[in-house]
Structure 1
């Protein structure tokens, strides 16, 4: 990685309006084309994740197309296994978790709330009685009606159905071409820049790729490993919703330490409602303690390292801002954009510190 103490791209002041104008036009196009960008963004993410694997196949003498086919077969096999085995188990455990809501509410009303009221000076009150059988049935019926209505709207409109199918089909097609031609596309984009900028921009692009690759690929593997580790540990302990809770903790691990906090809190609640014993909380704490040690001592140093440079608060802000601005599509592009922007901000700071404005 290039040293950040020296300016890398020297852009004259008179050219900055052009750079800002290009950036503004790109943001405008993203906003206007947002309804059709989802399959392209998903395809680009899949292509970016699979590009290093294709490069390895190509380095060993295979063609790039063969590498793409092998990567697609591996991704398809993982998706098939998840669909056939993991999804039914997740649905079953979700049903078990929903059935435990009345027991958790009773514990909260009869034990937890009185205990808190006896130790904290808050007014004594009781939670209302709820007919959970009727409430759950009503909510499930409402969910079923909403799902049926949504499916009816999709299937009732021929154009909507075609667009929906087209988006699904486009994702692997776009991913295939991105994965096959990723290096050529990056090279041609760099060649379009003014020659005076190409060397510095190539350095910046390499740094952005290192940061982004470390986060997307490394953190993705860390999330999957933690999900498997937490699920296995909770299953050994005997928690019924082990797979669902482990998956929740693994997904939340996209923000450092958030997976640990969310996972241990949810798991302790579910385990105590299931066993009604405080000793089970120690076992849950042991599972997440071991997982946190494995992540801190092995997974993150080996798979991610210190190349990300994204503060956990910055990760949370990027995800929330992306979701607010562009929904699910914004969440997908939030972290890649934040990682790239972080690299340029570092160099902007180095330019500022080297300027007369900072040095006086």
Structure 2
């Protein structure tokens, strides 16, 4: 079979896969979740296997420990988070009113003389923006939990996901070997290199950034609570988890935390100063300690490309799309860089001229 026919065959297979994911997205959540858990925990299973533990015992021990940690975290956090979510939702209108009042007071002082009517425009639009955001959030939560299908989906995910994760973790090496045996023999070395690059990008970002997000959430939640910020643990934990998308989580979390602290302490500025200091330390901790150690260098996922992939995948495939957006974005990035390398070394680019010395496209 010619290379042209092979390309057409694999593009057709990819299109069929995308169509199946779109058609079956309502039942894929436990299986995608189990695959993600198995991929995340496979290095630990390989290490235990090298120490002499059978694969089934390593998979059982790791998955059981993982589920125990998740269960303990839920038991400890859900009561606290439930109260804080309910309280924050009830206090949101009063926060908006207080911010409008504070802006009105500032408009009468030195800030009003500095920015003029712009502060009045901000004051008038603040309530509308927050009200629209609260309405959208409420409708989104209602849509997630409306109908019996959502309940069935949650129950099936809780029951089926650990079983799927166990069997995939148990058979991971055999699955990889089987897929490797299906690769076209003429291009097997190039395809293996591509898959190694994809695995490096996914592992470096997903495993590392997920760990960074959890640690940042605990840091922000504990420090904001210790500083006396209302709903500090909820704001901090959401900030850390949203930090999976670089810069987005920290910016949104800072805006919410600084707004709550201003309303809470007005006209004193000690709480806002604490918030600024906490987020400054958090950014230093993320940029110079956590990310270099856990994520490493560049893995080929630019924040803009990451945000774009999450928005597109979420709009097309819902929650399933959010789960697979980062791996797919990493794979597309690797394939694009491979295609560029092939193009820059081909006659389509050079013609009859030798290709010049170029910097690596991985940077």
TM-score scaled by length of structure 2: 0.84
Structure 2 Cα separation of the partners of residues 15 and 256 of structure 1:
38
Q: Residue by residue, what CA displacement relative to the aligned partner does 1:238-289 show, whole Å, maximum 9, x if unpaired?
A: 1131210111111111111222211111111111222222221111111111
List aligned pairs for 1:217-228, cutoff 5 A.
217-228=207-218
In structure 1, runs of 5+ residues without a counterpart are 1-10
CA contact (8 A) 1:223 1:253 kept: yes
TM-score scaled by length of structure 1: 0.85
Question: Is residue 253 from structure 1 mapped to residue 243 from structure 2 by the alignment?
Answer: yes
In structure 2, runs of 5+ residues without a counterpart are 352-363
Q: Could you list the structure 1 runs, at least 4 aligned residues long, displaced by more than 3 angstroms after superposition.
A: 113-118, 122-128, 160-168
Question: Is residue 233 from structure 1 mapped to residue 227 from structure 2 by the alignment?
Answer: no
CA contact (8 A) 2:103 2:119 kept: no
Alignment match, 1:281: 272
Equivalent residue of 2:230, what SS?
A: coil
CA RMSD of aligned residues (A): 2.7
Q: In the superposition, relative to structure 1, how do residues 318 and 161 fare at CA in structure 2: closer, same or farther (>3 Å)?
A: closer
Structure 1 Cα separation of the partners of residues 314 and 104 of structure 2:
35
TM-fit CA distance, 1:122? 4.8
Among 161, 169, 185, the alignment partner of 1:179 is 169
Q: Residue by residue, what CA displacement relative to the aligned partner does 1:291-337 show, whole Å, maximum 9, x if unpaired?
A: 11111111101100114210000010010001110111111111111
CA contact (8 A) 1:39 1:171 kept: yes
Deviates more, 1:72-81 or 1:318-327: 72-81
Structure 1 Cα separation of the partners of residues 178 and 350 of structure 2:
38
Question: Is residue 71 from structure 1 mapped to residue 67 from structure 2 by the alignment?
Answer: no
Structure 2 Cα separation of the partners of residues 221 and 95 of structure 1:
27
List aligned pairs for 1:14-163, cutoff 5 A.
14-113=5-104, 115-116=106-107, 119-122=115-118, 150=146, 153-154=147-148
Q: In the superposition, relative to structure 1, how do residues 23 and 305 fare at CA in structure 2: closer, same or farther (>3 Å)?
A: same
Q: In the superposition, relative to structure 1, how do residues 269 and 187 fare at CA in structure 2: closer, same or farther (>3 Å)?
A: same
Q: Which has the higher contact order (CA 8 A, sep 6+)?
A: 1
TM-fit CA distance, 1:163? 6.6
TM-fit CA distance, 1:62? 0.4
